[in-house]
Structure 1
Amino acid sequence: MSLIEALPSDYGHIITYALVFTTISFLIHALLKSRELKLELNKIKSHLQDSEQKNVALLDKYQPISSIEDRVKELNAESDAITSNIQTLRASYAAKRKLFDELERELAVFDEKIELSTLGYYEPHFDFGTSDRFKAEITAVREQQKDMLKAKQAAVCHTEWKVNNSAREGQTMTNRALKLTLRAFNNECDAAVSNVRWNNIRRMEERLTKAREAIDKLNKSNNIQITEPYFQLKLQELRLTYEYAEKLRQEKEDRAEAKRQLREEQQLIKEQEAAAREQHKYEELVAKANERANKATGDELKRLKSELEELEAQLNEARAKSERALSMAQQTKSGYVYIISNIGSFGDGVFKIGMTRRLEPLDRVRELGDASVPFTFDVHALIYSEDAPALEAELHRHFNEHRLNLVNNRKEFFRVDLDELRAKLEELKPDVDFLTDAEAQDYHQSLLISKEAQTYHESKVERLPDEI
């Protein structure tokens, strides 16, 4: 008897149904799984078909290429050709750039607008004390040039040429070539000498050198050259002419400074005479007041005594002024050293350190702030000294590295820290009064007006439109 038969009839039916249900479920699951596998298989087939089509397309595309190695060789060859072409272009550019730079340098010799920074500072070659010495030296150099021309030593030919087998005709040809050579070179030199100035002296020196090189190069086939001694004489003439002009300018400035000092001396004498007259006037007034006081009584006497005291105070002031003026007139070194600034004209941190022998030093300051500068000067210190030139020279020496003008020492402007300037001044003159603040009233008011005008202009520009 089987296990199912042994069970009660109800349990047997249940187990039978369970087995049937399980079998059906398994079949359904298997059927679903079969469908999924079929779909996935179809996808794989489709993907394989796409891959085959792509492979066919790739094969068609790269069919002309026999092999990857051949294509790599072709690409390498193209790369090498491009690299070689780049190197050729670079070499060609370098050669042409070199030629361009040479032509530019040669052109710069004749260019009046060349940058000054490329010229360098000209160091004087001569140390003659006066312009007359320079003038005499120029004349002497020109005489030496004439002697060399007469002796046929300015340009020479190193070959004895023959023309039509004739030495005479060859010499005639050589003489003509030498004349043309010297005429061309002398014309270049004369043009340079006539136009030499402070801002082109270096360029003119180079111009003479280039002219000689160019002429010698053209004469290379004839074996003709400009001699070195003659060339040096031409350079010497050029430099002498330039330095002669500079010496004339310096002497002109010296004369102007001497005239200024003479005016100050004359002004000092006038001020001394005026102070003496003022003293004499008050002495007479005091004498007359004393006479009236001796005769007066009561209230009149009190009034005259009060008037007399006032006149005596004015007399004492006039005497002091007269004595100071007389002292400054007699002592040629006494005077005032002034330290002034002008922010509006020269910027912050720039000071002028100068000297005046005027009885009223502020007159000199006002004179400096005349129409030549847009704003007046502010005074930081006025120092009286019995040896004002020595005090001024010491300050100039100490701050020499801070000069604005490194060429002309008469331009007494220095860019220096205010505290450093005050410290040095207090070291030399401990009791000096030094004002650190620069009022610069006109300058600051001008800035204010300018800002207000700009603000007004901006407000006009940004106003609302009339219509929208």
Structure 2
Amino acid sequence: MPAGWQLWVPEADSTTDALAVGPATGASAVPDTAAVPPPRKGGLFGRRRSNAESEAEELRAWIARTQGMDAARVADLVRQVEAEAAALREKASAEASEEAEGILKDARETAKGILDDARRTAKETERVRKEADRHRKDVFDAERRLAELQAQIVNADETAMLQEAGIYAYRHALHDAIAYRSRLDTLQNEIKALARAGRAVQAATDWTVNGSKREGQKMVRDFSKLMLRAYNAEADYAVRSMRPHRLSSLVDRLYKSRETIAKLGATMHIRITDEYHYARVRELELTADFLQKKEEE
């Protein structure tokens, strides 16, 4: 051995303990399957140096293996954390979706209730509007009828005053009583023709009885005849009881009879036609003119 050199051989136990420590993480970080390589005993000088280098390589390989196994466990832990995070996200998403569905359901029910209320309000408003329109029409008809009656009263008063003074206002200016009689005969033939042609009464055409249209038409026809008979009875009475100064009141009475028939036959839309009614009114006027002309002659 050269002068100044010392021979040092480490004891087996101390070397093993020193090597067993491994990396800075401590013994707990080394898995059981990674055994620490045992130290080698060699000769002196160069041979010992070569063995030390080989042993260092083995230690480096062992450290690499233990660190790789720690990385795998870390990767497993990361995957576990990611899986738990994904599960939490899925649970939160499901809870949020359920809550959103509940809110949407409540909103739909609320909107449906509001829509139903709006529809009921619209129907009620429409009903009130129609009722108001009907009342306005009734008021308008009443005012119009009142104006007509007032005009008739004025005309009747004027006619009475003229008759008291010996003046009669003829509705149809003819030369003599014979001409009035001839015109009356022609008009009465026209009235009969209107009745035979079915132009005296208007009525419903789609009326049915027990699902039978024929039975319905028969019923409407019978009621129409009955109504026309009542109207003609009133008109004939007016002709028979005619006096020149009573013309206005008799015409008004015939008009009221026509209105009554229209109300009674409203279900079947039965009414005296305007054409037939005006013909009967002209008959009353000609009768009054005829009587006045006959009295003058």
> What TM bracket, shorter-length normalisation?
0.3 to 0.5
* TM-score, reference length from structure 1: 0.29
Report which of the two structures shows the higher radius of gyration computed on alpha carbons. 2
Greater fraction strand: 1
* TM-score, reference length from structure 2: 0.45
